[in-house]
């Protein structure tokens, strides 16, 4: 209707992607393409590809990370199940916590949902401490308000940059992409 803003169907979902085994750029790019087919009618927001240092005690190669935003009508638990199945389709095997992986898909936010279940916590914990999540997420949803922390993604990104002395060595843009909104 003229003069009225039309809302996208479903709930806004923000997903983090990462890979550091095989051709990580190709893997993340293909996973993004698949996630695009899951979007309800509406835009698929896609970040640039970022090269990031691994987190945790396991020595391993740097990661390629990205983030996507989409709208869905699939409930959060079912959406997570779909993400885990997609990881398996790409050869993900969970051997070591924080270890190398062909594809890692994290359900970061499901709208403003707060949920603590055995296999799913929303929003995803420790987002504010992870540059590899915040850098791409800031490209696709800088104004998104963290439902627990009460800050936007842009504010969390700026706080992370200010707190991490070698931030530019931990996260760097690999393949810039024009993010459509």
Q: Which of 30, 53, 106, 177 is catalytic?
A: 106
Q: Residue 110 corresponds to which tokens in the numbers above?
A: 């499901």
92 annotated active-site: yes
Phi, psi of 40 (to 5 degrees): -65, 165
**104 tagged catalytic:** yes
One of 23, 30, 53, 101 is an active-site residue; which one? 101
The CA radius of gyration of the chain, in Å to the nearest whole number, is: 16
Our measurement of the distance from residue 106's CA atom to the centroid of its chain's CA atoms, rounded to an integer in Å, reads 6
Q: Which residue among the candidates 92, 168, 177, 181 is catalytic per the annotation?
A: 92
- Scored b (16 or more CB within 10 A) or e, 55-66 reads eeeeeeebbbbb
Strands, E assignment, 33-164: 45-46, 49-52, 63-72, 104-110, 115-117, 120-122
C-alpha distance across the termini of the chain, in Å:
21
Check 30, 53, 97, 104 and give the catalytic one: 104
Supply the residues annotated as catalytic: 92, 101, 104, 106
């Amino acid at each position: 209707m003229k003069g009225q803003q039309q809302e996208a169907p479903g709930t806004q979902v923000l997903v983090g992607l990462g890979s550091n085994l095989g051709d990580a750029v190709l893997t993340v790019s293909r996973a993004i393409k698949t996630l695009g087919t899951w979007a309800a009618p509406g835009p698929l927001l896609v970040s640039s590809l970022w090269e990031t240092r691994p987190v945790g005690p396991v020595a391993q190669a740097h990661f390629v990370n990205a983030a996507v935003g989409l709208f869905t009508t699939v409930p959060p638990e079912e959406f997570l199940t779909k993400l885990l199945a997609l990881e398996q389709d790409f050869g993900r095997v969970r051997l070591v916590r924080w270890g190398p992986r062909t594809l890692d898909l994290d359900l970061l936010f499901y709208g403003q949902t707060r949920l603590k279940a055995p296999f799913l916590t929303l929003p995803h914990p420790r987002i504010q401490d992870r540059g590899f999540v915040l850098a791409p997420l800031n490209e696709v949803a800088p104004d998104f308000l963290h439902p627990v922390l009460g800050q936007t993604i842009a504010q969390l990104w700026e706080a992370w940059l200010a707190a991490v002395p070698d931030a530019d060595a931990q996260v760097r843009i690999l393949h810039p992409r024009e993010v459509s909104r």
